[in-house]
Amino acid sequence: MTTTNDILVIEDDEIMREALAEWLEAAGYVVRKAADGSAGLAAVRSAAPALVVTDIHMPGTSGAVVIAELQQHHPDIPVIAISGLFQLGRGLDADSAVALGAARTLAKPFTRRELLQAVTVADLAARKRAEYLTRQVFESASDGVAVIGRDYRYQRVNPVYERNWGMPAERIVGMHVADLSGTDVFERTLKPHLDRCLAGEHVTFAEWFTTQLGRFYLSVSYSPLRLDSERLEAVLVISRDLTDHVLASEALREAQAALARVNRVTTLGVLAASIAHEVNQPLAAMVSSAGSCTRWLAAEPPQLEKARRSLERLARDGQRASEVIDRIRALVMRQPPRQDLVDVKETILDVIALTRDQMRRSNIALETALADGLSSVRGDRVQLQQVILNLIANAIDAMSAPGDRPRRLVIGCAAEAADGVCIEVRDSGPGIALEMADTLFEPFCTSKPQGIGMGLSISRSIVEAHGGRLWVASNLPHGALFQLSLPTGGREP
């Protein structure tokens, strides 16, 4: 750490070293001393000084080496080079010392006044250089940089503000923040953050901002600026334009959602016969109940009680058909992800209802082991149904090949020890080939002749977005076991 009045004196002559230290300390500087170049460089590494006064011609590590090292590792530290040989033309001359990087040179002997004048000039030169570099950083930064005073007015802005707000920097300087951002944004967002920073806190936030040139999504940081250790004078503002990144992320999420929806529709298409059966059953019952009701009403005398019971059955079957259609509509509709408390057992039963006839047509025996009283998981019910539907459809497909092996599908759910719920789908198909086990969840990985290989990839993405895991193992002696683990989100109130 550099202190503003810390000077390091490197001089091999003890009398000269002490004299230099005495002169500088009398002028109010804090002085550290080193007897040779090596000790001087070690002192710099320990704590960088504000300025170095070094003799050039010393045994061992010379002052020239010290200057070269400082230029390489600490170019911001000004150096005053001193030597009794400058005027004699022996060894390194004053011009060469300056060429190496010395800010000033002094030929021995010199007076106290000459030393202090050189220190002052070197210090001013270093300050000007630091100010120049600071100004360059400020002006050339790709991020928006500004200084805002305690009165919420801009004291300084860099050219990025000109581009973002469509007006010259000279016009922005002096404006109130509310005049630039709008009173509503200032009062609702900016002022609370500025007040926290003016109280000494570092603040970061991100927000959409509307300017004359359009809307920008900016990541903003506020840092306190102090002239001394106590008084906080202003706020340093650094803003980064993340508009393209945010828009690209939103486009990616929309594309992923569209792909997931295509996967759901594709899966439902595969199960079309099963879904049609699920709808036709209550429709056929409705037709039968309607016919019975007509007959009971046409009887002499009319059998009103029997007709009423037929109408009740008709209404129940109509509700059954409506529920099947609602489940299908929920899977097909385009809607944003939700964060609800989802009953896992009920979600599994809804999917089983859509796939039961397909299992019957494929001669698959279904077994369920669905625990009661499970804690709900927080997430999107339709997305979780999609995952379970994918796993069941894959299991049905895996057991559809001809053969004498019993076709058995086991679907279960149970509580996990670490506040979670585990769902299992076991089949008795041929299992997963070893060469595919590591890539099974990658996009476009499939063993089906007509498959596109996106179902399991999408399913794993959905599960991981819910904070869970999806993996596969062998279901000995035959088949595959897919398991997914989801964290619980509390019970329904």
pTM of the model as a whole: 0.42
Number of structural domains found in the chain: 3
At residue 154, the pLDDT reads: 92
Q: Is the pLDDT of residue 39 over 80?
A: yes
- Contact, 330 vs 385, CB < 8 A? yes
Secondary element (H or E) of residue 33: strand 30-34
Sheet architecture: strand order including 232-241: 154-157, 144-149, 232-241, 214-226, 203-211
Q: Is the pLDDT of residue 472 over 90?
A: no
**Residues 130-188: tens digit of each pLDDT:** 666 667 767 778 888 899 999 999 998 988 888 878 888 889 999 999 998 888 889 98
Which residues span the domain enclosing 336?
254-490
Residue 406, SS3? coil
* 435 φ/ψ sector (left φ>0, alpha ψ -120 to 50, else beta): alpha
At residue 92, the pLDDT reads: 60
At residue 182, the pLDDT reads: 86
The residue among 27, 61, 58 whose CA lies nearest residue 44 is: 61
134 and 146 both lie in a single domain: no
Domain annotation covers residue 247: no
Task: Check which CATH number belongs to the domain holding 207 and give it.
Answer: 3.30.450.20
Q: If pLDDT is split at 50, 70 and 90, which confidence band does 34 have?
A: very high
Whole-number average pLDDT of the chain: 81
The residue among 457, 331, 347, 344 whose CA lies nearest residue 394 is: 457
Percent of the chain topping pLDDT 90: 25
* Residue where the block lists tokens 């193992």: 473
293 and 418 both lie in a single domain: yes
**Residues 54-69: tens digit of each pLDDT:** 999 888 899 989 999 9
Instruction: Cis check for the bond before 301: say yes or no (omega within 30 of 0).
Output: yes
Domain annotation covers residue 248: no
97 and 176 both lie in a single domain: no
Furthest C-alpha separation in the chain? 141
User: Is the pLDDT higher at 193 or at 125?
Assistant: 193
- Contact, 47 vs 73, CB < 8 A? no
Task: Check which CATH number belongs to the domain holding 88 and give it.
Answer: 3.40.50.2300
What is the distance in angstroms between the CA of the first residue and the CA of the last residue of the chain? 58
**Residues 235-289: tens digit of each pLDDT:** 999 988 888 888 887 776 666 566 556 655 655 555 555 456 556 666 766 877 7
Q: Is the pLDDT of residue 226 over 70?
A: yes
Instruction: Report how far apart, in Å, the C-alpha atoms of 31 and of each of 8, 20, 27, 40 are.
Output: 6, 9, 11, 12
Of the three residues 87, 113, 138, the one that is the final residue of a domain is 138
